[in-house]
Each structure stands twice: as structure tokens, then as C-alpha cells.
Structure 1
Amino acid sequence: MTYQQYRAVRRLVHSCCNYDRGNCLLLDDGEECACPQSISYSLICRWFQAAVLPLDGELCAALLPPPATGRRRCRECKRIFTPPKHNTLYCPDCAARRTKRSKRDWARKKRAGA
């Protein structure tokens, strides 16, 4: 987090519904507890990430990675790809290689038996 982003987060902390004069109401168990988001250079508070940070769209996009929905890791080459179907296990390149390999093995087995 850059210094400018840190300053923007510090300004946003005051918009949190759990922020009370430097203390966090969620962490209050009878004893006052400093708001962790207001004293840290990183995003610690889950409530802040979910409810307050989206108020500033640019800052949210800069600090949080885009959600990786629908992405999967290929079982053979370990690259990340977006599967066309929910049960696809291999990326398109590896799927083509596996298909060729299985057809070649099938043909070899068929020739050996005939």
C-alpha cells in the first residue's frame, strides 16, 4: 500500500460504523481496543474490506485483486485457465495433447491385438 493509499484508507476508516473515536466496537470486550485498520499499513479488518472499502471504487480496485471466479488450475501444466464447462480439468492445449495421446495408445493397443 502506498502512502497515498494509506491516507485514503485512514480517511475512510471514519466512515466505518464500528469506529468510535479511534476504537473498534467489534473488538470491544469491555476494554477499549484500538481500531486495527486505523493503525496499520495493510488491510486487516474484514468488515472494513467488505463494507467500507467499496465506498471508494478506485481505491478498492487498486488494493483488492479481482475475484477469480470460474478459474481453475490445469492438472497437467499447472497454468490457470477459464474452463468452458464445470467438469473441465485441463487447459485447451493440454486437453488436445491428452486426446492425441489417448487415441495413439488406443490405436497401438488395437493393432497389437489384431
Structure 2
Amino acid sequence: MVIKITPQQAKRVNALLRKLCANYDGGNCLLLDDGEPCVCVQSISKYGLYCNYFKNAVLPTDERLYAEVMKPSGGKRCVLCHQPFAPRAKNQRYCPACAAKQKRLKATERQRRKRASASRF
């Protein structure tokens, strides 16, 4: 099954491919190599994701791109930054970066309320 991508996503996919793919060797694919060098199919494609190894092993390292490409209907947008992300739970509201910030803010507010109630007595 081919997953369609936009030209902007294709640029990000190719950059990720050159940087992190273990089977990419100077434009050739080591998985397809049977004695003769074979061109990496994913590096020459502009409109879709064709390599299963790339989809399963390399693409999940970039969470935003993974959310845009793999989960267009099931993906969500962060309440704070409005960036798409792949939720790990059905009630998740924030992307991982904003979740850490929000957790810190909630903890600060909780401690402020706790100290205010303790000082009244």
C-alpha cells in the first residue's frame, strides 16, 4: 500500500532517509542489493512512501512527520501549538513537547494552592 505525501513532506522524508536509514548507502539500498548496487526506491520517489523498512523503523523517529503522513484521519492537533501529533491515548490533548510544559504549569499551580491553604492554618 502506497501512502501519498506532499512535496514538502517528500523533502523531509528524504532528509530523514539520508540521515537515519541504516540501509541507505550513497543513493543505493542495501536491502535490495543482490550483488549489484540498486537505487533506493524511497530516495527517488516524490509522491509516496514505498519502503516498508523506512515506514516502520525510520519514520517514527520524527513524530510530527509521522503524525502528518501516517495518521491523517486519526491524528490530532495540539491544543496549545496546533501542530499535528499521533496520540498515544484517546484523550490526549497535547503534543509531547507541550505536554511537558503543561505538566510543569499544573504542578506549579497545585503547589501554589497547597502552600496557600497550609499558610491559613
Same fold by TM-score greater than 0.5: yes
Q: What is the Cα deviation at residue 65 of structure 1?
A: 2.7
Q: Give aligned pairs, total.
A: 68
Aligned residue for 2:60? 54
Aligned residue for 1:11? 15
Structure label with greater radius of gyration: 1
CA distance in 2, matches of 1:65, 1:56: 13
CA distance in 2, matches of 1:4, 1:16: 19
**CA displacement 1:70-108 (0-9 Å, x = unmatched):** xxxxxxxxxxxxxxxxxxxxxxxxxxxxxxxxxxxxxxx
CA distance in 2, matches of 1:30, 1:5: 32
Q: What is the Cα deviation at residue 33 of structure 1?
A: 0.5
The answer to which structure, 1 or 2, has the higher relative contact order (CA under 8 A, 6+ apart) is 2
Structure 1: 5+ residue runs without aligned partners? 69-114
Among candidates 30, 35, 42, match of residue 37 of structure 1: 42
Identity of aligned residues (%): 54
The one-letter code matched in structure 2 to 1:43 is L
Q: What is the Cα deviation at residue 35 of structure 1?
A: 0.5
Q: What is the Cα deviation at residue 54 of structure 1?
A: 0.6
Q: Secondary structure at the match of 1:26?
A: coil
**CA displacement 1:19-70 (0-9 Å, x = unmatched):** 000000000000110001100121000000000001110100111137x8xx
The one-letter code matched in structure 1 to 2:42 is Q
Q: What RMSD over aligned residues (CA atoms) do the two structures have, in Å?
A: 1.8
Aligned residue for 2:28? 23
CA distance in 2, matches of 1:3, 1:40: 10
Runs (4+) of structure 1 moved beyond 3 Å? none
